[in-house]
Structure 1
Amino acid sequence: MHGLLALTHREVVRVLKLWSQTIAAPVVSSFLFILVFGLSLGSRIKQVDGVDYEIFIVPGLVTMAMIQAAYANNSATVFQARFDRYLNDILASPMRSWEINLGLTLGGVVRALLIGVSLLLLSLPVTGVPIHEPLVLIVAVALALTLFSSLGVVVGIYAESWDHAGFVNNIVILPLTFLGGVFYSVDLLPEPWRELSHANPIFYIVQAVRYGFLGTSDVSVVLALGVTAVLAAVMVAWSSWLFRTGHKLKP
């Protein structure tokens, strides 16, 4: 396990050394969303599903910040490791494929957790957001980070340039996050947008995390966790297959 610990340590230290970019910047930008949307629109919207608006948006914004950080960290670190040929040294080591995959993945998980906890601590005195179902919240966050950390690894392996990694985040993840019910309840949407929202995978992640915080969601929490778990399993299997076979990694 020395190789796994060393690789994980390297990825975590990389995140901590660049804390102003990797942690502080996402926390500040997400907290500004809470201040601008929550406190300014809260006086007009008042409540959503019986919850004060400034509290309602916190779970979605925490989710958005964490999944983006997990994806961005791992896609960047894997692509840079390929670009600098550093990954070749890891692949040539006696480490098992799952150890390499896990070691590269954990850096994004640690970064996302630090962002999520920091954002929650800042939000508590401003909004007083509760945590009604802590066990559901832990499971939802674990599944979400597994999904997007593995997605970042997969994209980092397939990417041919920095633009490719950024394209997935800016054109796929970010729009789906905003359309996933972060700032509103999907039940308020007219037809057919309500049904189309249920085809958005990030919608289920947001609902699962929101249920953990507020005890309420637009769909069954079992369905939300089930969809997220299936997607996470598929992405983990994909990244594991890439490292096991060496596809796109070995000449």
Structure 2
Amino acid sequence: MPQPSRAVLPTVLVVDDEPPIRKFLRISLTAQGYRVIEAGTGAEGLAQAALALPDLMVLDLGLPDRDGHAVLRELREWSSLPVLVLSVRAGEDEKVRALDGGANDYMTKPFGIQEFLARVRVMLRQGAAAREEQPASVSSGPLRVDFAYRKVLLEDREIALTRKEYAVLAALARHLGRVVTQRQLLQDIWGPTHAEDTHYLRVVVGHLRQKLGDDPAQPRFIVTEAGVGYRLRDG
């Protein structure tokens, strides 16, 4: 089978604090034609996810600086990067918690490399299909959300947003003109245990409106659908 060209090598980010595991995965993935970048801590993994824009993250849960669940939770505030959890934690509760927290798949150590590579191929195919369906940026009048660079521009001026503010606005932009329910926003951004904490969402939307100069009584951008959710105006 021909290897992918250097220009289009899928990039896999391996976040694991054990050098032998990272080396084993690097050798195995490189042999299959993937580009591999590595991180030994959660903080480094998040930084690489933002800077290197990988196609897939392989995430260990037992990291030295923070728990892998916390890394996953922070990542999901701003990114839909596919995540394969690879952990010694084999309990059902751990798996359910990771999957509910935004992981796309879960494997336990020790693991078979052929099964691991098969799961990587599946997730990369799914990720490529999702990227093809997703535009690089979305505009609502003078407001533009740039997904590739995680920037929000209003009349070509960059607006500084917190991670939560960007995550909410990006979620609305990805469903431009359509209502996104409060529950969906809370589950996707804050996690499944916060599905009823609507006050979190109200505060963030309030801050977003202030920064965008958006009057909730006569909104240019974010429209409240009472009792249901929010939508970003289409044009």
Q: Which category describes the TM-score, using the shorter chain as reference length? A: under 0.3
Whichever structure has more helix as a proportion of its residues is 1
TM-score (norm 1): 0.25
Whichever structure has more strand as a proportion of its residues is 2
TM-score (norm 2): 0.26
